[in-house]
Amino acid sequence: MLTAGLGLFAAVASGCGLRLDRDPAMPELSPVDVLRDAVARSFATTTADGVAAEAIAVLSAAVGPPWDPPDGLAEPVAPPNPDPGPLTAAEGLADAARRVVDASPQLGRGTGPTGVVLADVAVGALLHLDAVDAEAAAAIRADIAPAMRAALDAVEADAAGAAAATPPAPGASADGRAEGEDEHPLVGLVTASHIAEYAYERAAVHLPEDSAARRGAHARLDGLSGVAAIAPTLADGVTVPSNRPAWELDPRPEDAATALAALRAAEDALLAQVWRARGSIPPAVLLSWSDDSARARERADGFQDLRFEVGRRRPEEDG
């Protein structure tokens, strides 16, 4: 699992160390912070048992607690979102995923660490929702493509100068490169997409015809081609790499077991490049690519609640 940082305003929320004779200065929450609070409240009011309860506990821990202003303020401050009513497991999973999908097109040009965590949680919620209310999961996923299209339209408008005032995600440079990095991270994402295509071509012949991974291979190849085509358009100066180098797959597909392992490895490598390029990928696009990859990994016998491991960060470290 990759590691994502999620900065939480824990000290502010708890009121630790605050003087009681005057109100503290309340932090200005970004749209991503407000969304994080909304998702946290969805999980906090969800009641579940069994596998669903375990899943919601994992997802809730990744998101963190709701943001609540300190008690005892002379001028009370309302929390950023109201608490939803009591939710069942299916309702809680759907509500959390829906909030992220609906908000994603408005979250800017790039995805910061907190946005990556929220997308990852939404994808995990949809995977579990498939098991308890597949119809609701399908309805929410049907809105991911329009959200992605809206985000890509905004990128195109920005390139034309219509949205030049929209800043990149916190902690991301203007072109998405890390300090000291020569090659744009989107180049690595394009290469990872091509390698994953090659992995599916090589692996499919070793899988039985009724294998979910083989049945989904054609659609996944189309999706990977889409990633390779879209990624270079998300930033300037992205040199499109060759799609025919001499790749060596590890593990090498030789039978059904190694074929599935190769597909899981390819999806993990792709997601690692998505993380590297997150500063250039709009949240709605990152959400769509993450959901496609997570479902493909599930078909390859690799179901995961979360694709990223959340590392706690102090607020000043969150960029």
- Write down the pLDDT at residue 181: 59
In this structure, are 127 and 219 located in the same domain? no
In this structure, are 64 and 145 located in the same domain? yes
Are the C-beta atoms of 97 and 46 separated by less than 8 Å? no
Does 281 fall in a domain?
A: no
In this structure, are 261 and 189 located in the same domain? yes
Report the C-alpha gap between 304 and 123 in whole angstroms.
10
Task: Please say if the pLDDT value at position 187 is more than 50.
Answer: yes
Report the C-alpha gap between 133 and 222 in whole angstroms.
27
Report the C-alpha gap between 205 and 256 in whole angstroms.
9
Does 294 fall in a domain?
A: no
67: enclosing H helix or E strand = none
Does 114 fall in a domain?
A: yes
In this structure, are 184 and 156 located in the same domain? no
Mean pLDDT of 140-154: 96
Report how many domains make up the chain: 2
**Token pair recorded at residue 55:** 């899943």
- pLDDT tier at 137, thresholds 50, 70, 90: very high
Does 292 fall in a domain?
A: no
The larger pLDDT score, comparing residue 4 to residue 53, is at: 53
- Write down the pLDDT at residue 183: 87
Q: How big is the chain by its Cα radius of gyration, in Å?
A: 20
What letter does residue 304 receive in the DSSP assignment?
-
* Range 191-194 contact pairs with CB under 8 angstroms and sequence separation of 24 or more: 191/241, 191/273, 192/266, 192/269, 192/270, 192/272, 192/273, 193/224, 193/225, 193/227, 193/228, 193/231, 193/270, 194/224, 194/228, 194/241, 194/243, 194/247
Selection from 307, 295, 310, 291 nearest residue 147 by Cα: 291
The larger pLDDT score, comparing residue 137 to residue 154, is at: 137
Range of the domain at 99: 1-175+304-319
Cβ neighbours of 255 (radius 10 Å)? 10
Pick from 42-46, 105-109, 191-195, 208-212: least confident: 105-109
In this structure, are 13 and 129 located in the same domain? yes
Distance of CA 108 to the CA centre of its chain: 14
Pick from 83-87, 99-103, 129-133, 160-164: least confident: 160-164
Are the C-beta atoms of 197 and 221 separated by less than 8 Å? yes
For 203-230, how does the pLDDT look when each residue is reduced to its tens digit (9 = 90+)? Answer: 999 999 999 999 999 999 999 999 999 9
In this structure, are 127 and 228 located in the same domain? no
In this structure, are 134 and 186 located in the same domain? no
Does 26 fall in a domain?
A: yes
The larger pLDDT score, comparing residue 315 to residue 301, is at: 301
In this structure, are 156 and 211 located in the same domain? no
Which residues on adjacent β-strands are paired with residue 309? 3
Query: What is the identity of the amino acid at 239?
Result: T
**Token pair recorded at residue 165:** 């005032």
- pLDDT tier at 8, thresholds 50, 70, 90: very low
Task: Look over the chain and give the mean of its residue pLDDT values, rounded to a whole number.
Answer: 87
- Write down the pLDDT at residue 17: 43
- Write down the pLDDT at residue 179: 47
Burial class (CB in 10 A: 0-12, 13-18, 19+), 273: buried
Beta strands in 178-313 (DSSP E): 308-313
Does 4 fall in a domain?
A: yes
- pLDDT tier at 318, thresholds 50, 70, 90: very low
Does 291 fall in a domain?
A: no
Pick from 28-32, 202-206, 245-249: least confident: 245-249
Q: 3-state class of 271 per DSSP? A: helix
253 vs 172, 201, 298, 316, CA distance in Å?
37, 10, 18, 45
In this structure, are 196 and 209 located in the same domain? yes
Pick from 67-71, 112-116, 142-146, 168-172: least confident: 168-172
- pLDDT tier at 38, thresholds 50, 70, 90: very high
The larger pLDDT score, comparing residue 34 to residue 109, is at: 34
- Write down the pLDDT at residue 97: 98
Are the C-beta atoms of 280 and 172 separated by less than 8 Å? yes
Task: Please say if the pLDDT value at position 16 is more than 80.
Answer: no
Does 272 fall in a domain?
A: yes
In this structure, are 130 and 79 located in the same domain? yes
Percentage of the residues of the chain whose pLDDT score is greater than 70: 83
In this structure, are 215 and 150 located in the same domain? no
Which residues on adjacent β-strands are paired with residue 308? 2
- Write down the pLDDT at residue 7: 46
In this structure, are 114 and 148 located in the same domain? yes
Distance of CA 259 to the CA centre of its chain: 26
Report the C-alpha gap between 8 and 21 in whole angstroms.
25
For 250-286, how does the pLDDT look when each residue is reduced to its tens digit (9 = 90+)? Answer: 999 999 999 999 999 999 999 999 999 999 999 999 9
